Each structure stands twice: as C-alpha cells, then as structure tokens.
Chain A
Amino acid sequence: MKTRKLLDKLVTYLDGDARQRKKERDDLKAVLKKLKRREKKLLNHLKDEKDGNRQKTLKNEIDIVHAQRKKGVRLLKGTPD
C-alpha cells in the first residue's frame, strides 16, 4: 500500500467524524441488504397467494419496503464516503 493511502487511512481513523460517517454508511448498507431480502421474500409470498385481500395487503407491504429501499439508496448517495 502506498504511503499516501496509509496516511489517508490513518487520518480517517483518527478523525472521529469520518469514522462515524463510515459507520452510518455501513449500517445503511446492512439494512438495505436485509430489506432486499425481505422484499424478495414478500414477492415470493405474493406469487403463491390466492386470496385477493391478502394479495392486496402483501402488495402494499412490498410497495412500502420498496419505498424504504429507494429512500435508503437516496440517502447513501447523499452521504459522503
């Protein structure tokens, strides 16, 4: 690793704010990963569901999870590295 890169890493480590921002990004990514899994699962449930009412409930739930994911991606774009 180049000296400059090492120095950057050290500065990031010593800079409390930068570390905090990194943690926030990492946590957001972790939640987004879980949400993606949840949306997939709900979509699979929807495929198997025959009852109209339950289909509607599941559809709403999927829309909400999707909106949460969109919001998360927007937030990630806005958070500096």
Chain B
Amino acid sequence: MLRRILLPSIFLVLAYGFWISPDFKTISAGVAVFLFGMLSLEEGFKSFTGGVLERLLRRTTDKLWKSLAFGVVSTTLMQSSSLVSVITISFLSAGLIGLASGIGIIFGANLGTTTGAWLIAGFGLKVDIAAYAMPMLVFGVILVFQKPKTAKGIGYILAGMGFLFLGIAYMKDGFDAFKETIDLSQFAIPGLTGLLIYTLIGMAATVVMQSSHATLVITITALAAGQVTYENALALAIGSNVGTTITAILGALSANVEGKRLAGAHLIFNVTTATIAIILIKPFATAVDGISGMFGIAADDYTLKRAVFHTLFNLTGILVMLPLIGKLVTLLERTLKAKAKHISEPRYLTTSAMDFPDTAVEAVRNETLHIYENGRDIIAAGLYLRPADLTGDIDLAERVAVPVHGSPPDINSAYETRIKPLFNAVINFISKSSFGWEQRQMADLHWLRDANRHLVEAIKGTKHLQKNLALYVRGDNPYIRDEYNQLRLQIANVLRALEQARSSEDADVAILALDSIRAKLEQSDDAFSDRLYGLIREHRITPQMGTSLINDTGYTYDIQRDLIEMAATLFAGPEHELAPAQHKLTLDEDEMAEALNEGGGPDEPETPPGKVDGA
C-alpha cells in the first residue's frame, strides 16, 4: 500500500516544486543527470568485469593492506562505493575471495569514496565543469555506438563522467540562483539536535538516491552557496556514510551467507564510524581546522574543510576497526550462521553470483567441483573403497586385494540425493544466466555443463559395473575376482591421478597432465584385453563370466574416459585463462602414439625465432 502511494506522492511534490521554483527544477534536473551519469559509469565498468577485475581481485586480496588499497583505488576510479560493495559481495558469494579480504575492500572503499568530496570541492566548484562535460559526452556517445566491447565500455565511462560533471554544474547553477530567492540556511539547526536531525536527513537522502555521491554533491554545492551551515553539512556527510550501506544490504539480500556477513561488516563499520564522528564532533572540527591550516586551506573554505572532515572520520574508522577485523569476522560468523547445507544443496549458485559473467562462471565451476567431490565418493563406494583411499598414498593394488564384505552400496539412491539435485540446479542456473553475455563466458558455461554430463555418465557407468562387480569380488573364483579387482584398481588409479593433478604444484597445467593419464588408459586397456582372452581360452573363467567381463571392461574404460574428459574442463585451475593455450597443446591419438614410440627424450625442442623463454 505504502509503496503504491509513495511514487505518485514523490511525483506530485516534485511537480509542485517545479511549478513554483524554476531553480528547484534546475537542482533536481542536476541530481537526475548526475544519477544517470552514475548508471552509465556502472554500465561502463561492468563491461570490464570480463577478466580484468577478476584477475585484479585475485592478486590484490592475499594481504589485508592489499585489499584495503584495492578498495581505495577501485572506488576512487569508479567513484561509486556502492558498485564496489556490490561487486565484492558478488565475488564473495561466488567463492572468489574470503570474508576478511572482502571486509578489507569495503573499509578501503569507504576511504576511496571520500576522494569524490575532494574532486568536487577542489575542482568541480572552482572551474567551469560543464565545459569539460560537453566533449566527454560527445566522445563518450560516439564510442558507445562502436561495436568493440572495450570501446563501448570506455564510451559508457566517458559519457558517465560527462553526465556527472553536467549534473554537478546544474546543481551548482540551481543553488546559486536559489539563494537569491529563498535562504535555506534559516532552517539550520544548531547543537546536538541539529547534528542528529541532519545525520538522519543525510541518511534518508542517500537511501532514496542510492548514492552517497549524489548527497555529497548536493551538500557541497548547497554549502558553497551558503544554503546549509558548515556544521549541518558535516552531519549530512555522517548520515550519507551510513545511508550508503543500504545498497550493500539490498545487494546482500540475494547473496549467500558470506555476502550477508560482508553487508553486516559494512553496516557495523559505517555505524561505528558515524557514532565516533557524532560523539567526537568537536575534537574532529578542531582537527579539521588544524589540518586545513597545515595544507593552506582558507578558514572559510568550508567545502574543502568538509572534504577534510569526510576523509578524517573515515580514516579514524579504519584505524579503529582494522585491528578488530579478526573479531568482526568471528562475530559475524557467530551471528549470521551458515545454514547447515545438506550435501545435496547447491553451495555457490546464488542470485548475486549471476550479476557478473565471471562470478557466474566461477560459481558454476565451484558447484561442479562440489558435484565432482560427491561423485568421486559415490564411485569410490561403488568400488568398495573409501574416499580417503583415493586422496591418501596407500598402495591401491594392496588395498583392492583386501577381501570385500558387506552389502553393495545403493548407487541409485546416492545419485538421486547427492548428484541429481545439484546437476538440476546447475542447469537451471546456466539457463537463467544465459542472456546478453559475451561469448567467452558462454563457452565456459557450455564446457562446464559438459563436464557435469561426463561426471553423471561416469556415475551411471559405475552403477552398471557394480551389478557384476558386487557378485564377483565377493565370489569364490579367484581369477574372476582378480580381474574385477583390476577394474577397480584402474578406476581408482585414474581418480587418484586426477586428485594429484588437481592438487599438485603443477595444478596450473593440470589439463596437460591429463595426457599422461589418458596414455595410461589406452595402454592398460590393450593389456587388459589380451589377458581376458587368455583366461577364457584356458578355462579359468566361464564364457558367461567372460562376457560379463568384456562388457564391464567397456564400462570401466568409459568411466575413466568420462572422468578424464570432465577434468579437462573442470581442473583448469586458478589460472584458467591459460586453459585455451593448454587445450591447444593436448596431444591427439597419433601424436600420443608417436610420443610414446619415439620416446622424445631430453633433446630440447627447437626454439623459434624471437626469445621463447619456456621452450
């Protein structure tokens, strides 16, 4: 009900305002153009999330100071702490970064956002900013119409900045003209009441406009025109800082618990900082005067002094909260508990991970790894092995020789509960995220869906294999038992080799390591066929057993091949931008046979002209 009448009411109030005051119209148009500029800027930066941002985030979040610096720099560049928080939440939900790193980025973003105050106060109000806006808009819009993605992205950023500047110019003009007709500063409220009321106004304005920058610009332009007092402007700055967290909270509603914790950290940081600023407003004002004096800022240059205040209280907040990050993480983990995820529930496929192509691909990759881990355990159980047998370093040949007892595991029901719901969730997620994306991420998703399919095939193969395997590994005929133990050993060896390829130091070339596993598969398959025919000829096993063994050898081969195919996509590792290059170097059947027959040896491959370090 409230929502239904709110928008028409806002429209009515604005229309009335436009009717009675042309200056109010100019100011409001300025805010609208400014916000449109923010939207355009966000659009521009989003088009660069296809890899660059992801790589940057990975490299800049391993240490706290790096996360902080990333927050400061990215927010300074993008001029939107909200966008940085939403991206961070999205990356955190997709499992790309940890909570402590995320908190570091958010703290940094709070400091980075204060650079906006400096730019506007120091530059925006002193020069004819509209003169800069015009060429930016023209160049920006021309670039937006270009085909290449980079040009389009730069176009959106330029146009966005042009609109921001234009919006600021409109607001400035509006306030300058406004002061001749109405003096808003007569509504100034001194003392603590004023401080609290203006903090609330700043908060509300930021929540409505979804941008602390918009509040900031209005405050600074109004301050420059003398429409708000310096003290009230400080309170507005405090309020806008708290109000900005609302965007992060809205962003976190669709995120998983990690994203919610980050939004919680953001809220705690900003509320704490605001409380400190309100309590210590007097010492802060004195410190601002001192610092301003040191940097040669005139005592009556309230716009720059306000920028000093904004930076100072955010810096104080960071200094106070930084040593408490560990405790903050513990507190958030304790209060916002992760719902105990059932093994069959998706862990990474959240709505917020769908926001950016890279996070969506990463979420699907992580979820597929989750399915793989479940699938590996099901296959191990089907082979009468424990998951630890595959990851540890016990001798697998000895392990499979241990007599098997007990009833066979129910692979069907394990598949229905631990694989199928996750597989369905992945397919659903991919189908929902597949619009308007650039080609590379779509191709990644296609391959990941294929990896899932191979895994499902491998599990189904294990189910087929298990029918005879359960009979013969527990039976009396030692020959057929040995043969089936060999089948178990082959699959177990592949699973272990995959685990090693995935976790070794060479994980970044895991795709190429699969060639060796593939080669072993082809060799062992030949040897196995020879032995099988020998056994039938020598009447060690019945022809019926032989037929079963022939079929099951086929299943075993298919299971291994499916597992290797799955790994070729899934194990691209943290540097999966190298995956296409690795795929180019994988050997086909002929090349593999040639390599193994020739025994390439240690002679160095001929280096091509131009230095090739690695060859």
Q: Which residues of A contact B (CB under 8 A)?
A: 16, 24, 27-36, 38, 41, 43, 57, 59-73, 75-77, 81
Contacts and interface: CB of A to CB of B under 8 A. Distances in A.
Given A31-B585, A64-B596, A71-B584, 18 more contacts: A31-B582, A32-B612, A32-B613, A34-B506, A34-B508, A35-B585, A36-B614, A62-B602, A63-B601, A64-B587, A66-B600, A67-B591, A67-B592, A67-B594, A68-B585, A73-B607, A76-B608, A76-B615
A60 B519 contact: yes
Given A63-B600, A70-B605, A76 B515 contact: no
Contact of A68 (B512, B520, B602, B610): B512
A33 B605 CA distance: 13
A70 to B, nearest CB: 4
Given A31-B509, A65-B512, A75-B585, A36 B599 contact: no
Given A27-B580, A35-B509, A68-B587, A60 B596 contact: yes
A34 B130 CA distance: 53
**Most chain A CB atoms below 10 A, which of B607, B609, B614:** B614
Interface in B574-602: 577-578, 580-582, 584-587, 591-592, 594-596, 598-602
A65 B600 CA distance: 9
Contact of B606 (A24, A62, A65, A73): A73
A75 B598 CA distance: 20
A44 B245 CA distance: 56
Nearest to B592: A64
B55 to A, nearest CB: 13
Contacts of B506: 34, 38, 41
B599 A59 contact: yes
18 contacts: A29-B612, A31-B509, A31-B581, A34-B508, A34-B509, A43-B602, A59-B599, A60-B596, A61-B516, A63-B600, A64-B519, A66-B601, A68-B512, A69-B614, A72-B585, A72-B614, A76-B612, A77-B609
B148 interface: yes
A34 B509 CA distance: 7
B164 to A, nearest CB: 27
Contact of B591 (A32, A71, A77): A71
A36 B615 contact: yes
A81 B587 contact: no
B599 A63 contact: yes
Interface of B: 148, 150, 506, 508-509, 512-513, 515-516, 519-520, 577-578, 580-582, 584-587, 591-592, 594-596, 598-602, 605-610, 612-615
Nearest to A59: B599
A34 B574 CA distance: 14
Nearest to B515: A64
A28 B581 contact: yes
Please provide the 5 A-B residue pairs with the shortest distance between their CB atoms, ordered closest to farther. Answer: A33-B614, A32-B614, A67-B595, A66-B600, A27-B581
B615 A27 contact: no
B443 to A, nearest CB: 14
Contacts of A60: 516, 519-520, 596
Contacts of A81: 610
Contacts of B612: 29, 32, 73, 76
Contact of B605 (A63, A64, A73): A73
B610 to A, nearest CB: 7
A32 B578 CA distance: 11
B577 A27 contact: yes
B444 to A, nearest CB: 15
Contacts of B587: 64, 67-68, 71
A44 B586 CA distance: 23
Contacts of A57: 520
Given A27-B580, A64-B516, A69 B615 contact: yes
Contacts of B512: 31, 35, 65, 68
A33 B596 contact: no
A13 to B, nearest CB: 10
